[in-house]
Amino acid sequence: MPMKKGSKEVLAKAEEYLAEIQALAVKPFTIMEVCGTHTVAIAKNALRELLPPTVRLISGPGCPVCVTDSSDIDRYLHLAAQPNVITTTFGDMIRVPGSDKNLQALKAEGADVRVVYSTQDALEIAKKNPEKDVVFLGVGFETTTPTVAVSLDIAKREGINNYSVLSMHKVVPPVLRLLAEDKELEVDAFLDPGHVCAIIGTKPIEFMAEEFGKPGVVTGFEALDILEAVVMLLRQRQQGRSEIEIQYRRVAKVEGNPHAQMIVQKVFEPVDASWRGMGLIPKSGLGIREEYASWDAARKFSLPVFHSPETPGCQCGEVLKGRIYPTQCALFGKRCTPLKPVGPCMVSSEGSCAAYYRYFQRS
Ligand code: SF4
């Protein structure tokens, strides 16, 4: 669907999709949006309110900051407190609470923590500060890993030895499998993440439709994209199909982006990873390969493994698994607000709790 449409045209198309949804939604249908950017778009455009009561949208584990385990947060806070270290990170991470503080508090205490907009910025900081160790906090899904992989490759090639990455990267297919196997989770279909699938393609997630009978549609991020994807999923149900289809055709292809896949494979390897609220998921993380060990912050600083408890009272894990709406957390909007977040789901711009707080409140 073209992006540039007049508002009348958009409204007409939205009405057309909503009418078809109304006609097809003859019995209950629950769809999980896997990606945090979808969660925000759905909340911002009040799409839940526009859909008939038979179509339920629930949020999933698609916010990379939110799924970062408490132990990993305490681990990078430990690293950021080391003398001679400059910690570089995307802005969302600054206010994520660890067991007793966050990066912002550490910075106020004198730690050198800098927000960057790209790994290129982090590399530049490393070049300008040869006497310091510059660490980039690698948090993200398949969408962000290619640029981090490129930065490590450049660092190795150019001998930028004071640059390293603490990899907490995660990949989506294993967590989809976990969700599909969860007998308590009543989800009929998935809005699959458009940007992730632009990198990996659809093959790595086809098992969802084939093995588990859970259809999916790789979806873009405009309101019309999401409505069209809902229509596509309902049509699949009506026609008795279970497939992974692409709605976000202007960006995502079946084969994904082979160049991005290649650089990620060159630098990273699959490792088991802990997800907030979901525990250890086999091969769901990306570790830095031996060839790049000198640029791996975990090895370089011999970082200990932390075993931190979940933040008391915070139900981010249940939110990320689609078991509860954010408003069902007892702390939502009371002890936990974007100004005073208790858990990461209220901090991140892609967090479900932050999206619900900003745009509406519904249980
Ligand atoms: Fe955690 Fe706050 Fe969300 Fe509750 S409202 S789940 S405390 S982030």
73 and 87 share a domain? yes
**CATH number of the domain enclosing 230:** 3.40.50.11750
43 and 69 within one domain: no
d(CA 134, CA 162): 6
The pLDDT of residue 184 = 87
* Inside any domain, residue 204: yes
Q: Which among 314, 318, 337 is the best mutation to test ligand 1's pocket, defined by most ligand atoms within 8 Å of the CB?
A: 314
CA of 245 from ligand 1 middle (Å) equals 33
- Asked whether residue 161 falls in the same domain as residue 268, the answer is yes
pLDDT value at position 92? 87
Q: Is 333 left (phi over 0), alpha (psi -120 to 50) or beta?
A: left
Q: How far is the CA of 214 from the centre of ligand 1 (A)?
A: 28
- Looking at the structure, tell me whether residues 324 and 347 fall in a common domain: yes
Mark whether 203 and 338 lie in a shared domain.
no
Residue 285 shares a structural domain with residue 260: yes
Residue 363 lies in a domain: no
Q: Are residues 91 and 144 in the same domain?
A: yes
Give the distance (Å) from ligand 1 centre to CA of residue 343. 5
Please, are residues 189 and 29 in contact by the beta-carbon 8 Å criterion? yes
Domain coverage including residue 336: 316-358
Q: HSE on the CB side for 117, CA within 13 Å? A: 0
In the 8-state DSSP scheme, what is residue 93? G
- In a domain, residue 251? The reply is no
Q: Are 268 and 286 in contact (CB under 8 A)?
A: yes
- Residues of the chain with confidence (pLDDT) below 70: 1-5, 360-363
Last residue of a domain, one of 201, 216, 246: 246
Q: What is the pLDDT of residue 1?
A: 43
Q: Is 343 in the pocket of ligand 1 (CB under 6 A)?
A: yes
Cβ of 332 less than 6 Å from ligand 1: yes
What's the number of domains the chain is made of? 3
Do 159 and 277 lie in one domain? The reply is yes
Q: Is the CB of 346 under 6 A from ligand 1?
A: yes
Q: Are residues 130 and 198 in the same domain?
A: no
Q: What is the pLDDT of residue 115?
A: 97
Ligand 1 centroid distance, CA of 316 (Å): 5
Q: Tell me if 13 sits within 8 A of 5, measured CB to CB.
A: yes
* 305 occurs within a structural domain: no
Residues 194 and 46: their CA atoms lie apart, in Å, by 20
Within 139-257, where are the H helices? 145-158, 172-181, 194-200, 207-210, 223-239
The helix (run of H) or strand (run of E) holding residue 40 is helix 36-44
Q: Whose CA is nearest to atom 7 of ligand 1?
A: 314
* Co-location of 166 and 82 in the same domain: yes
Q: Whose CA is nearest to atom 5 of ligand 1?
A: 332
Whether 2 maps to a domain, the answer reads no
* CA of 101 relative to ligand 1 center, distance in Å: 17
Q: Apex CA 60: angle with CA 313 and CA 138, to 5°?
A: 85
Q: Are residues 265 and 166 in the same domain?
A: yes
Is 88 within the bounds of a domain? yes
Domain assignment of residue 83, yes or no? yes
What's 84's domain CATH number?
A: 3.40.50.11740
Q: What is the pLDDT of residue 4?
A: 54
Question: Based on the domain organization, do 214 and 261 belong to the same domain?
Answer: no
The finding on whether 139 has its CB within 6 A of some atom of ligand 1 is no
pLDDT at site 349: 82
DSSP letter string, 204-235: GGTHHHHTT---EEEE-SSHHHHHHHHHHHHH
N residues, the chain? 363
Asked whether the beta carbons of 193 and 167 are under 8 A apart, the reply is no
Is 286 domain-assigned? yes
Asked if residue 347 has its Cβ within 6 Å of ligand 1, the reply is no
